[in-house]
Structure 1
């Protein structure tokens, strides 16, 4: 499968939590057989682009083995970065069709909403991962023009009242956002909070919204193995853009209240407000260290004992919180949004009322006076389920399901084709007295099985595949007929069965022990009682799983 990833910005030009998510996922699914391509909006000078198609400037490059196409619109209009329509993006159809894209994964709709219009016109299936509130709020963060937290657009009516500094048709924007979500094959959010926020704003989409925490690499990280005692000095850390919405001024104010305590220090990592922060800071134990990149993450977290995330907006996920947890570093965070979802007060960290610097200051003082409490907080931290391989598997399975639906749709299959009578007559014969191995309640099995065969047909269309069927029973016979009907390039060399021997329909039956002597590319497990034993045996032979759709195991 070839998956096109669309985003509003990407590495190396821009580094954010969303770009980190995209890179991690693309790198992982590429190792699982997906062919990725990224199209990103970009901000290079005009002369740095390679070509121009109508009003679109185009630049191709490779980032750490990933093919990227950077685009930029010539003569952007004033609302380009906040609107959800732009037909001048339609000439990109030429690239999408030339690249033979199967599915599109929208990673952020800002600046590329015109491409989403194009996808809908050419009926290209897409999945969307929501990483912030842009489809609700053109400012992304649900913060109004007064710098206050907003509860939502309320179909655009709230925006008209609270953000009249933006000259937008908020009602039309809301309708367009709803169309984008409704036409998505699936919607993924990295937190329960973000799912609930969108379900509240856009009704009727709960059934296709999935929560999947962003994954992280667990190799080559430095875990905090310190054991704290009453004399321990504690270094607190901040690792985000040093901007207003990230709560940087709340943080500075809190530490101005604890100056004079030599056991408590603060390190601020992140660019922004470089000239203002030194003026506001009155604590000599606060170090303002400026911008950093991902290559220095281990070094940064190794230098701190507690992370502080004082954001005054909801935060839809927060990589920094989860990266701290990954290293057994407790977190102090504002008690709203995804921060409150991940940080449990008094369990793996502490929370405080958003914007309340006095509360934050009191927590800092309490930890400075009682460092041993960090040992307890550390013992409750476990984010091992948030690994990138698990997230990659989730998306690969999602792509496969969408891809199979696409193939079925293209072939104009009908429900009639999956009636038991049709299947019985085609594969057992009209005059056969034999029964199918499944009752009418399970006829969807054949529909699903047929979809999976379509997937394999496309995957191996250029190869001759030798295969075995595990299970010399009626299910094995039916599966053989399905495979012969759909996969003309697949050659059956034998059945595998624990109890039977001999020949069935001119095909030899081998024992479990004999499989290691067979030359085959793929194995179909077509037995329910023996499925686990078959999988165990194939794993013992060190056969790599290439698709778990059909419990299929291949030699390569």
Structure 2
């Protein structure tokens, strides 16, 4: 099969959860003998020497990342409101339609519609069937995280009425929020299948779009990449008596909703010399937030920031951690980092919301802490510093997550259904 993955951004420019999920699945499908091509929006300027040859009127270049071919379309060719709405650029739709036909794709797999609604409409013009995987709340929430302007969790847009009541801010009006909901609904209804990674997020979308069915397929983990970093003989393991410190770990994008500042402030209130913190992730967006985080890191010699790392190096970073810390301020739909850590038998401290709370509570593989509560996080860190054997008990409860090969098998079965129907 020839499959095009469509998403709002991709490696190496961005390295968030959606990008990681798409890369893992693309490589697994390649190993199964399929051709997978990524179409993504480039936020960076594109070099003119590698423009798309079909037309000189649009900036598109081709690259390869870890064996996966990518076609980048410049942000300037996509609607200005694309970051929050489902607007399309007609000229871009036509050019992408030509490209999709030329590539002879059998199916499109939509991973994120932000900025990429033009690609979805192009696929519809080509009569290209598509499957949609929902990795966050963007289809139901223009704020993406389903947290309203009062800081409370939102259970759904109710055809834009809840958005108008709780999140009405320029450029939105009541009618435009209703229109956004209707556009989102139409895009999802046209998908052959709508997939979510957890029952938690399925419940949200059943409430947001009650007339639609939702299939749960957990994101698969690339065991082949992680297992060489087995912790069995790792000298950094907590049970090793040769050292007297505990390595906490943060893995993910460094943006305000992910809550790294909560963890750093909690650690600052916990002066135990037994604790270390290793931060793996890159900064995106708000420069003020970056400045504040850098200052907190520099103020605590126990903290080490590794920056954004190549996905093939995630295993080596994880194996240096004893306890993963995910202090998110927004509900997560899955948490790839949590499940990758589980492969290496690393328990976690997580915030009390979203799919990660459900996972840790279900398996008793860590501790759930109140969202945004610096005192509660500090207290948890102090208790761990005083009794590190808690980590051993949590580790014993960890269950292995789905493999990416299992995820690919489920999707391959879906693909074949819709290719036959088309």
* TM-score w.r.t. length of structure 2: 0.88
Please list every run of 5 or more consecutive structure 2 residues that lacks an aligned counterpart in the other structure.
Answer: 284-288
Distance, in Å, in 2 between the alignment partners of 1:73 and 1:282 is 35
Q: CA deviation at 1:234?
A: 1.5
- The equivalent of 1:431 in structure 2 is none
- The equivalent of 2:286 in structure 1 is none
1:64 and 1:302, CA in 2 relative to 1: closer, same or farther beyond 3 A?
closer
User: 1:433-489: per-residue Cα shift (whole Å, max 9, x none)?
Assistant: xxxxxxxxxxxxxxxxxxxxxxxxxxxxxxxxxxxxxxxxxxxxxxxxxxxxxxxxx
Does structure 2 conserve the Cα–Cα contact (< 8 Å) formed by 1:56 and 1:73?
no
Q: CA deviation at 1:352?
A: 1.1
- The equivalent of 1:90 in structure 2 is 93
The secondary structure found in structure 2 opposite 1:397 is: helix
Distance, in Å, in 1 between the alignment partners of 2:69 and 2:298 is 47
- The equivalent of 1:6 in structure 2 is 6
1:204 and 1:54, CA in 2 relative to 1: closer, same or farther beyond 3 A?
farther
Measured on the aligned residues, the alpha-carbon RMSD in Å equals 2.4
Q: Pick one of 109, 113, 119 that aligns with 1:109.
A: 113
Does structure 2 conserve the Cα–Cα contact (< 8 Å) formed by 1:345 and 1:351?
no
Q: CA deviation at 1:375?
A: 1.5
Does structure 2 conserve the Cα–Cα contact (< 8 Å) formed by 1:2 and 1:34?
yes
Distance, in Å, in 2 between the alignment partners of 1:141 and 1:102 is 32
The secondary structure found in structure 2 opposite 1:59 is: strand
Distance, in Å, in 1 between the alignment partners of 2:61 and 2:294 is 40
- The equivalent of 1:266 in structure 2 is 277
Distance, in Å, in 2 between the alignment partners of 1:121 and 1:50 is 23
* TM-score w.r.t. length of structure 1: 0.68
Q: CA deviation at 1:242?
A: 2.5
Q: CA deviation at 1:188?
A: 1.1
- The equivalent of 2:67 in structure 1 is 65
- The equivalent of 1:305 in structure 2 is 322
Bigger relative contact order, structure 1 or 2 (CA pairs below 8 A, ≥6 apart): 2
- The equivalent of 1:228 in structure 2 is 239
Q: CA deviation at 1:187?
A: 1.0
- The equivalent of 1:216 in structure 2 is 221
1:78 and 1:400, CA in 2 relative to 1: closer, same or farther beyond 3 A?
closer
The secondary structure found in structure 2 opposite 1:127 is: strand
1:279 and 1:46, CA in 2 relative to 1: closer, same or farther beyond 3 A?
closer
Distance, in Å, in 1 between the alignment partners of 2:367 and 2:8 is 34
Does structure 2 conserve the Cα–Cα contact (< 8 Å) formed by 1:144 and 1:162?
yes
Distance, in Å, in 2 between the alignment partners of 1:339 and 1:375 is 20
Q: CA deviation at 1:28?
A: 1.0
Does structure 1 conserve the Cα–Cα contact (< 8 Å) formed by 2:197 and 2:219?
yes
- 2:262 is aligned with 1:250: yes
The secondary structure found in structure 2 opposite 1:142 is: coil
Q: CA deviation at 1:70?
A: 1.2
Does structure 1 conserve the Cα–Cα contact (< 8 Å) formed by 2:16 and 2:252?
no
Distance, in Å, in 1 between the alignment partners of 2:295 and 2:63 is 42
Please list every run of 5 or more consecutive structure 1 residues that lacks an aligned counterpart in the other structure.
Answer: 407-556
Distance, in Å, in 1 between the alignment partners of 2:193 and 2:20 is 21
Does structure 1 conserve the Cα–Cα contact (< 8 Å) formed by 2:238 and 2:322?
no
Q: Pick one of 165, 168, 171 that aligns with 1:167.
A: 171
User: 1:169-192: per-residue Cα shift (whole Å, max 9, x none)?
Assistant: 110010111111111111111111
Q: CA deviation at 1:145?
A: 4.0
Distance, in Å, in 2 between the alignment partners of 1:229 and 1:11 is 36
Q: CA deviation at 1:131?
A: 0.6
Instruction: Report how many aligned residue pairs link the two structures.
Output: 402
- 2:417 is aligned with 1:404: no
Does structure 2 conserve the Cα–Cα contact (< 8 Å) formed by 1:266 and 1:285?
no
With 297-306 and 20-29 compared, the bigger mean Cα shift is at: 297-306
Does structure 1 conserve the Cα–Cα contact (< 8 Å) formed by 2:79 and 2:87?
no
The secondary structure found in structure 2 opposite 1:80 is: helix
- The equivalent of 1:328 in structure 2 is 345
Q: Which has the larger radius of gyration?
A: 1
Q: CA deviation at 1:46?
A: 4.7
1:8 and 1:75, CA in 2 relative to 1: closer, same or farther beyond 3 A?
closer
User: 1:6-45: per-residue Cα shift (whole Å, max 9, x none)?
Assistant: 1111122222111111111111112222222221111232
Distance, in Å, in 1 between the alignment partners of 2:136 and 2:155 is 14
Distance, in Å, in 1 between the alignment partners of 2:373 and 2:122 is 46
- The equivalent of 1:78 in structure 2 is 80
User: 1:403-453: per-residue Cα shift (whole Å, max 9, x none)?
Assistant: 1222xxxxxxxxxxxxxxxxxxxxxxxxxxxxxxxxxxxxxxxxxxxxxxx
1:292 and 1:280, CA in 2 relative to 1: closer, same or farther beyond 3 A?
closer
Distance, in Å, in 1 between the alignment partners of 2:383 and 2:362 is 14
